Amino acid sequence: MRDSVGSCSEDVTIVNESGLHARSAASIARVARHARFGVRIRKGNEGANAKDVMDVLSLACQKGSVVTISIENPSDKDVLIQLVTLVQNGFGE
């Protein structure tokens, strides 16, 4: 889904029992760092730089939380797909 010119986003639900913790936040940041442009993750009115582990952890996402992952540039669509898949698969836990 496009939310502004040049950016794309997907909503995804945190499914793993532990929610978004240090190891899963590190996984998000590791994938997001492959993007050439910005990657954001948002829960409600709070947003975070997906490339920064501590910023992602600040969202305090529990199981069942719906987050929006967005990319600034469509050229990073593969990163968005990888992040959505990572969350949907419960971070491999």
pLDDT in tens, 69-86: 999 999 999 999 999 999
Would you say how long the chain is, in residues? Answer: 93
Domain limits for position 35: 2-92
* Secondary structure of the chain in HEC code, one letter for each residue: CEEECCEEEEEEECCCCCCCCHHHHHHHHHHHCCCCCCEEEEECCEEEECCCHHHHHCCCCCCCCEEEEEECCHHHHHHHHHHHHHHHCHHHC
Query: pLDDT value at position 92?
Result: 80
CATH of the domain at 58: 3.30.1340.10
- pTM given for the model: 0.89
Q: How many domains does the chain have?
A: 1
Average pLDDT, the chain: 91
Contact present, 47 and 67 (Cβ < 8 Å):
no
pLDDT tens digits, 25-60: 999 999 999 999 999 999 999 999 999 999 999 999
Q: What percent of the chain has pLDDT over 70?
A: 92
Contact present, 84 and 76 (Cβ < 8 Å):
no
